Structure 1
Amino acid sequence: MADQTPTQPPQPVSHPLFARFYARVLARNEPAEMRDHRVALLAGLRGRVVEVGAGSGANFAHYPTTVDEVVAVEPEPYLRDEARAAAASAPVPVTVVEGVADALPLEDGSCDAAVACLVLCSVPDQGQALAEMRRVLRRPDGELRFFEHVLAKKPRTARLQRVVDRLFWPRAFGGCHTARDTGAAIAAAGFEIVEQRRVKAPALTPPPVSVQLAGRARLPHDPSAV
């Protein structure tokens, strides 16, 4: 499937209550285990990187100096302002821009890597968001780094995830869905998964989001491949 630029206009994103809770409580009190996961996610990146759904900029401090530039795309206004403040002290140049995952404000083939960190749970359409990441990555060596909470393999936990998604979770937590099979979505979007591993969630992580997946994927060598 050839990559295509989306034709639908992006929808505005605003989650003012959740954004403040995330930035002031969750991000500022993040456990050391989560910071370790962020470091591992970004290790070895080079060149120009797009971070999709950068939130309040929690990843910025952990980018290696081999990165020339980070273009951080964040649709939520409050979080975007927080990210711009975090960018000022980042060890690499970070440009924070307004945009959404399903219509990235970047040219085709303009990035060496894309980072998706705790964002594919909340995008309206995972397939479209991943297609956009494919579009902006350079061939043949463009790489996707991902760290996401995902659908559990254990039936009991998976049932819990589906129940909370149906009842209240997306409304309470900024559009987040706990029962998405994100690893399968990445493969279905045409990426070749090089590495993926289940990682231990930080202590006190609620069960619906305690199943977490990290890994790397790359573009197929055949541009027409799905």
Structure 2
Amino acid sequence: RLWGPLFARGYDMLVKSSEDAGLRDKRRDLLAHARGRTLEIGAGTGINLALYPEAVTELVLTEPDPHMRAQLEKKLAGLGRRAELIDAGGEHLPLPDASVDTVVATLVLCTIPDPEAALGEIARVLKPDGQFLFLEHVRASDPKTARWQDRLERPWGWFGRGCHPNRDTLAAISASALDVSEVEQGDLPKAPPIVRPLIAGEAKPPAS
């Protein structure tokens, strides 16, 4: 009970070394492509808020964790940024079909209980010419690291509030109703080895 609010309050400091070592730049490069009505799922503490470009005309944020949402509300107020904040998980987005130009997910598909359902919802709410921008840590291609990801899944999940270090998120996106148009593989800076493998990219709704 205590760890939830403590984790939310300390999250930005917890990831600061990674952000300063290059993760913030990766976020900025990804979000530079966001445009129009933009939905960020699992917005957390709002670490992306200051990085959205002017091309984003409307911002919708979902965050189901009340402790994270409290931090997000504070950050919105501090930045003076206007956004619609919704208490919802990625598996059930309370938005109409084909109503969003851009969906953003950064380091969130690891924690969503049913990522396949969330990807289905992302495909549903995207306009035909929309885009899904993602930045996620994933299952390692190195077998030794992957075995450690499996072994440490439960304790890491407790520490990371539901984070699964061993999810093959790129395979999940590729198997969804979305078409991966661009993907770059790399490393999460200054991160433990089990959450270091990183992907960043873009997927689109299937061509009609």
2:165 paired residue number: 178
Q: Which amino acid aligns with 1:218?
A: K
Q: Which amino acid aligns with 1:162?
A: D
Q: Which amino acid aligns with 2:130?
A: G
1:118 paired residue number: 107
> Counterparts of 1:94 and 1:32 in 2: how far apart (Å)?
28
2:135 paired residue number: 147
Does 2:55 match 1:66?
yes
Q: Which amino acid aligns with 1:142?
A: G
Indicate how the Cα distance of structure 1 residues 157 and 173 shifts in structure 2: closer, same or farther if over 3 A, else same.
same
Indicate how the Cα distance of structure 1 residues 27 and 69 shifts in structure 2: closer, same or farther if over 3 A, else same.
farther
Q: CA RMSD in A?
A: 1.7
Indicate how the Cα distance of structure 1 residues 92 and 44 shifts in structure 2: closer, same or farther if over 3 A, else same.
farther
List gaps (5 residues or longer) in structure 2: none
> Counterparts of 1:93 and 1:188 in 2: how far apart (Å)?
34
1:97 paired residue number: 86
Q: Note the C-alpha offset of 1:89.
A: 4.8
> Counterparts of 2:20 and 2:47 in 1: how far apart (Å)?
12
| Matched-pair contact (CA < 8 Å) for 1:63–1:91 | no
> Counterparts of 1:62 and 1:89 in 2: how far apart (Å)?
15
Name the one with the larger strand percent: 2
- Give the match's secondary structure for 1:85: helix
Indicate how the Cα distance of structure 1 residues 57 and 27 shifts in structure 2: closer, same or farther if over 3 A, else same.
farther
> Counterparts of 2:6 and 2:53 in 1: how far apart (Å)?
32
Does 2:201 match 1:215?
yes
Name the one with the larger helix percent: 2
Deviations 1:158-204 (A, max 9, x none): 11101101x4111221100001000010011111101111123212x
TM-score scaled by length of structure 1 = 0.85
Identity of aligned residues (%): 42
- Give the match's secondary structure for 1:147: strand
> Counterparts of 2:16 and 2:159 in 1: how far apart (Å)?
19
Deviations 1:134-181 (A, max 9, x none): 111111x1110000000010101111101101x411122110000100
1:56 to 45, 61, 81: 45
- Give the match's secondary structure for 1:183: helix
Q: Which amino acid aligns with 1:217?
A: A
1:86 to 75, 78, 81: 75
2:151 paired residue number: 163
TM-score scaled by length of structure 2 = 0.92
| Matched-pair contact (CA < 8 Å) for 1:143–1:218 | yes
Q: Note the C-alpha offset of 1:90.
A: 4.6
> Counterparts of 1:179 and 1:199 in 2: how far apart (Å)?
16
List gaps (5 residues or longer) in structure 1: 1-13
Deviations 1:65-121 (A, max 9, x none): 110011010011121121122223558632222111111121211110100100000
